[in-house]
Amino acid sequence: MRTIVLTAAAAAFLIIIMPESSAHAQGDPQAQMKARVQAAFEAAHKTATVGPAKIPLLDQGTLTITPGEVFIPATEANQIMAALGNQTSPARFGLIMPKGDDLRWMVDVDWVNDGYVRDGDAKDWQPDAMLQDLKDGTEHGNVERQARGIPPLDVTGWVEQPAYDNRAHRLVWSLALRDRGAPANEPQTINYNTYALGRDGYFSLDLYRLRHDCGRQGDRERPARLAQLRARQAL
């Protein structure tokens, strides 16, 4: 498992991308990052689906986006994540973002082809083991973050421990993170996560917010409302 964070610094590049000369960009890591982010979003703009729309989730279900949202497919989604200092993933299905330039949140959608997960097995997923996996994944990602000059992250613990919704076939949880060495009074980053179980695996929908937007009403429900998996209903 991995954790991803949308930092305020990274989002600022999306909201205000200042033009840089190529000569200046070559010697300025911040300018280089701005250029990578700008190029990634320009590529995504060409392939994005603008809501309202229903995005097929392979043969497992449907992803519903509203008029204020856009869906970015896997290739361009990985380019955006790499530009923001996060890891790319062959499991990434796409990204959902608000329409417009003011990027305050994103939902990362992954398809994990682990085969059919029984409801009983999902209920028995161990919070302590999951938390350790997330910490290990974060440490692995920190190597790349530090190589890009981005502060490493520490997973500080559960905001909401994993809880399984048997009727909706969803595992829901949320996690708190903090920049390593940040003051104790600095607001934490909170990631909200939903695993939507399908016939042949599960979709992971992870919501990432800027720190000052964390905890807004509807955060917990946003990933869950996006995916409707028809496959489970037929079982």
pLDDT of res. 10: 41
Band (pLDDT 50/70/90 cuts) for residue 71 is very high
pTM summary value: 0.73
pLDDT digit string, tens, across residues 138-179: 898 888 878 877 788 899 999 889 888 887 778 888 888 888
Residues 6+ apart with CB under 8 A from 92: 74, 77, 78, 81, 108, 109, 110
Q: Is residue 233 pLDDT above 80, yes or no?
A: no
3-state secondary structure 178-217: EECCCCCCCCCEEEEEEEEECCCCEEEEEEEECHHHCCCC
* Chain segment 87-129, per-residue pLDDT in tens: 889 999 999 988 876 677 888 999 988 877 676 666 677 889 9
Which has the minimum average pLDDT: 66-80, 85-99, 216-230?
A: 216-230
> In the predicted model, is pLDDT for residue 72 greater than 80?
yes
Q: Tell me: the pLDDT tens digits for 8-26?
A: 334 433 433 333 334 344 5
Distances (CA, A) of 174 to 19, 194, 195: 37, 9, 11
Return the domain boundaries, the chain. 8-233
CA separation for the pair 76, 84 (Å, rounded): 12
Give percent of the chain with pLDDT exceeding 70: 73
The pLDDT value recorded for residue 190 is: 78
Query: Per the structure block, which two tokens stand in for 54?
Result: 């229903």
Maximum mean pLDDT: which of 29-33, 81-85, 107-111: 107-111
CATH class of 8-233: alpha beta
Give pLDDT, residue 27: 60
